[in-house]
Structure 1
Amino acid sequence: MLLQETAGSDETLSLMQLDLDDFKPVNDTLGHPAGDKLLQFAARRIQDCLTSDDRAYRLAGDEFTVISRGSGHPAKAHRLAEALVAAFKKPFTIDGIAVFVGTSIGISTAPPDGTNPEQLMKASDLALYAAKQDGRGRAKAFDAAMLELLEQRELLRRSLRMALDQQQFFVEYQPLAEGSRIVGFEALLRWHHPLLGKIPPAAFIPMAEADGMMPDIGAWVLEQACREAMKWPENYIVAVNVSAAEFLTSGLTDRISQTLDLVGLPPERLELEITESVLLERTVNNIDTLNTLNVLGIRISLDDFGTEYSSLSYLKTFPFDTIKIDKYFITDLETDPKSQTIVRCVVNLAHGLDMQVTAEGVETPAQAEWLHSVGCDRLQGYLVSRPLPVEAIGEFIDRAETSVSHALV
């Protein structure tokens, strides 16, 4: 390999690791033959950006490596990486379907970032991770500070394995408003690390999913939320998020049913929130699971609708009770006609399919007034209330009717 040929020499070169963004949804929805074609087209597009000093290799799956030799590094590698990112902004056409798949790139340069293949691969891998964390569809060069971030991430991962046993998790509850009434709360998982303090869910939930911990954590959250809901008025629901990793674990419906029996919460008071990513795999099993939950009387909500792999076929195939419109469409609702059109269409679509609609991230009275005008059923966000600790729920419920009525009128 070129890396081994140049190891120990004075030649400067750069190594780039490329990862295709959103390849998996294409593979899952259009099939493996379409995925294979996409990989071939991607390889050609990479090759078209290279010069005689560059070589491209496919590592595995949707991962590629480019080695760039010659003078002018690392600036030369940065220009090539930006050209590759720009090339992948154009759609691919597969069997007549336009498919958008971007690329994230991590760059390392020899000798500054390493003098052997292992060091350069590790450095470019860390840079690739940073590119994905920054939002994907971009290139990042290795920086020594990334090693410190990696060490922090590994520390967090080790701590996470002990968090459940050491009772470091807790649940906050954000109210759901229907008109001027509170109709329930969404349970939100939180982690208070003994040294680092409060850890954002976006930082630890992906780790928990990757390490197979979400089924145990999810079961704990469900039981805690159901027990808390037993203290609320009998018409209040509790909404609990179910991650993809948890949903795809066998025996989910039995565990949920056993928890409801143990706690004594009627199934119609439980609403499970799943995201569209859950529906991309094992379609037959997904339908069976959702239908079983539906038969049990448990409500099903499609969370973050419109931000992932939205397909109208999901709404026809799966038995949803509620669609949650992501706050992305609510933030600029007062000024953006496009957001208004999208939200109005989703509300009409959901009602036509006999589903309710919840708008997330509602922060202003003007947003609430507009949502009410188009028939949105429920509101959730800081206008109603921030997420509440357990000890504050009783007082909130006592004054809910008057305070929410004043805020939303």
Structure 2
Amino acid sequence: MSSQQLDRTVAVPDEVLLSVLLDHTSDLLLVVAPPGEVVYASPSLLAQLADGDALVGRTALHLVHPTQRELAREVHYRCLQTGQPETVDLQLLLRTPSVELAYEPGRWFQVTMHPRPGLGLVVTGHDISARIAHAKELEHLAFHDRLTGLANRVRLERELDRPVRGRRAIMVLDLDGFARINERVGETGGDAVLRSTAWRLRRMIPAGGLCAYLGGDEFALLLTGIRSPAQAEVLAEQVVGALAEPVRVGDDVLTVTASAGLAIDVGDALHGDELLRRADSAMHLAKQQGRGRTVVFDSAAAARAAARAEVARRLAAAADEDELVLHYQPLLALASGRVHGAEALLRWDSSTGMVPPDEFIPVAEEAGLVHELGRWALRRACADLVALPGLTVSVNVSARQLHHDSFARSVEQALSSSGIAPERLVIELTESAVVEDPAAAQAVLGRLRRLGVGIALDDFGTGYSSLSYLLHLPVDTLKVDRSFVADIVTDRRTQLLVHGITTLAHDLGMSVTVEGVETEEQLEAIRQTGCDAVQGYLIGRPVPLAALSS
């Protein structure tokens, strides 16, 4: 720039330079008289208003979002009283900028109010909408689950900690058999099921409620303004019913049920953590009762749940504490009249005494311990077989064990470590374990059969009996349930039915064992049916290994 140009620039009057600067500033600039009327607004600000010409002469509060006008009024008053500038973030009612805000209309400015004696306030500010949007996005991510879009556990716990008036309730839901769903449709399909569940729950949640994803296969609904416990119970049943509607995942159509626990605060001012714990406790009780059930928390149920939790804790350590043992119930071959094998039955000799199987087996299933217990039983049974020359041993296997990824490998390891011949081990499973996923069961049992391990189908005739299972599964032995034995002496139809099962099994290359034989008359009637072996208290009760071998 030449000296002449510089001289001309310097010669421009100050008021002209000020006018140029004000006309071209992109920031907010206002002059507000002490009562609050706008006496000056920068052109850039006026251009962003729907009715900019009408701003001058009106109160500056018209620019502020209604929810923040009280805050703006307080800061304005303090500045005039103290003579000190103050800075505050305010949402203003300007046109929407290029940055789209997903949360609230308007734009955010960081505003500073500068008191000027005799003039009022000079208000300056710059747009912080992008920063606010980013902060709110981070807040959203911190309190919401990315997969489902629902509130997460942190958000739920925050809401539970808020003081409330009136009744509230919380429902905890757990999808039944979700691990099996993941195995069937893969992780991507499992995610689709979770998103579908979240969508259905959103449709069901009443106004003022909160729907949350707790992780894994668990969800929660926080209900406020509950008029009565009955209202919450009806809603819980409706939610469970809605979730049971079929879900399409790719080419698969799945029926996904959920077990629900409901806890209601009826004026006890329960802490949020306690309310959530109660709902979770009730949910676990619901799962014990079967699929698609709803249980409302009560103190007696809580005591039972606590007792079961203690049993589960002790059971988890039972193997390490050397408290688990196997008892053996003999199987008698009718042709030879000799014991040719035994069924291994798990027993828990705890520090407080012998725990009945019907008490700890359901707890093991619920707590996810059944696979570890089953693996221990396999290893011990194979090791015990070394002391039982000439006998076979049957080991019971649950549906969860059978479908576990490492089940077949655990059988191979038990055989290898003991050194026994595979044909001396029989895997005994129920029809329900097969019907859960026949194709998967066929694959696992086929692998075991190729090893030489025997396969027995237990409790035959009591549940899902289908002759197609016998055609497609590599079964060696059918075990006829004890329910057929009770009337076999006097009921001709029962005799014919057992005889028919035996004939069919023999034609398919299978042997037949009848369970529950307790009297000589029953034994004689069973001989007439042509079956191969019997088991029951008449033959022998379950006994420790030493008693069986002697």
Q: When the two structures are superposed, what TM-score results if normalisation uses the length of structure 1?
A: 0.69
Shift of 1:184: 1.8
| CA displacement, residues 102-146 of structure 1 (integer Å, 9 cap, x when unaligned) | 542211113667745433222111101112223444322223345
Q: How does 1:74-85 map to 2 (within 5 A)?
A: 74-84=229-239
Amino acid at match of 1:256: A
Asked whether the equivalents of residues 170 and 189 of structure 1 are also in contact (C-alpha less than 8 Å), the reply is yes
Q: How does 1:33-48 map to 2 (within 5 A)?
A: none
Comparing 61-70 with 369-378, which one deviates more in the overlay? 369-378
Unpaired runs of 5+ in structure 1? 396-409
Map of 1:252 onto structure 2: 410
Asked whether the equivalents of residues 225 and 240 of structure 1 are also in contact (C-alpha less than 8 Å), the reply is no
Which of 355, 358, 367 is residue 198 of structure 1 equivalent to? 355
Which of 213, 226, 230 is residue 385 of structure 2 equivalent to? 226
Comparing 166-175 with 353-362, which one deviates more in the overlay? 353-362
CA distance in 2 between partners of 1:36 and 1:338 (Å): 51
- Is 1:185 paired with 2:335? no
Map of 1:174 onto structure 2: 329
CA distance in 1 between partners of 2:415 and 2:156 (Å): 57
Map of 2:542 onto structure 1: 387
- Is 1:143 paired with 2:298? yes
Map of 2:264 onto structure 1: 109
- CA 1:186–1:42: 2 relative to 1, 3 Å: same
Which has the greater radius of gyration?
2
Aligned length: 385
- CA 1:376–1:129: 2 relative to 1, 3 Å: farther
Instruction: Please tell me the root mean square deviation across aligned C-alpha atoms, in Å.
Output: 5.0
- Is 1:120 paired with 2:264? no
Quote the sequence identity (%): 33
Map of 1:270 onto structure 2: 425
Map of 2:84 onto structure 1: none
- Is 1:13 paired with 2:168? yes
CA distance in 2 between partners of 1:282 and 1:107 (Å): 35
Question: Of the two structures, which has the highest relative contact order with CA contacts closer than 8 Å and spacing of 6 or more?
Answer: 1
Shift of 1:174: 1.4
CA distance in 2 between partners of 1:79 and 1:309 (Å): 33
- Is 1:320 paired with 2:475? yes
Q: How does 1:205-220 map to 2 (within 5 A)?
A: 205-206=364-365, 209-210=368-369, 213-214=372-373, 217-220=376-379
| CA displacement, residues 61-116 of structure 1 (integer Å, 9 cap, x when unaligned) | 6544333333433222223334555677x874869999765542211113667745
Shift of 1:164: 2.8
Unpaired runs of 5+ in structure 2? 1-154
CA distance in 1 between partners of 2:377 and 2:517 (Å): 26
Secondary structure of 1:213's aligned partner: helix
CA distance in 2 between partners of 1:12 and 1:342 (Å): 59
Shift of 1:187: 1.0
CA distance in 2 between partners of 1:202 and 1:358 (Å): 24
CA distance in 1 between partners of 2:522 and 2:254 (Å): 34
CA distance in 2 between partners of 1:83 and 1:38 (Å): 19
Which of 431, 440, 453 is residue 298 of structure 1 equivalent to? 453
Shift of 1:177: 3.5
Secondary structure of 2:543's aligned partner: coil
Amino acid at match of 1:300: I
- CA 1:208–1:4: 2 relative to 1, 3 Å: closer
Asked whether the equivalents of residues 316 and 369 of structure 2 are also in contact (C-alpha less than 8 Å), the reply is no
CA distance in 2 between partners of 1:313 and 1:25 (Å): 23
Shift of 1:306: 7.0
Shift of 1:218: 2.8
CA distance in 2 between partners of 1:35 and 1:339 (Å): 46
- CA 1:285–1:172: 2 relative to 1, 3 Å: closer
Q: When the two structures are superposed, what TM-score results if normalisation uses the length of structure 2?
A: 0.54
CA distance in 1 between partners of 2:486 and 2:182 (Å): 33
Secondary structure of 1:189's aligned partner: strand
Secondary structure of 1:70's aligned partner: strand
| CA displacement, residues 269-311 of structure 1 (integer Å, 9 cap, x when unaligned) | 3222245648978978984x64554344331224456778878
CA distance in 1 between partners of 2:193 and 2:311 (Å): 36
Shift of 1:194: 1.2
| CA displacement, residues 17-54 of structure 1 (integer Å, 9 cap, x when unaligned) | 23344555566557789877877886787678776676
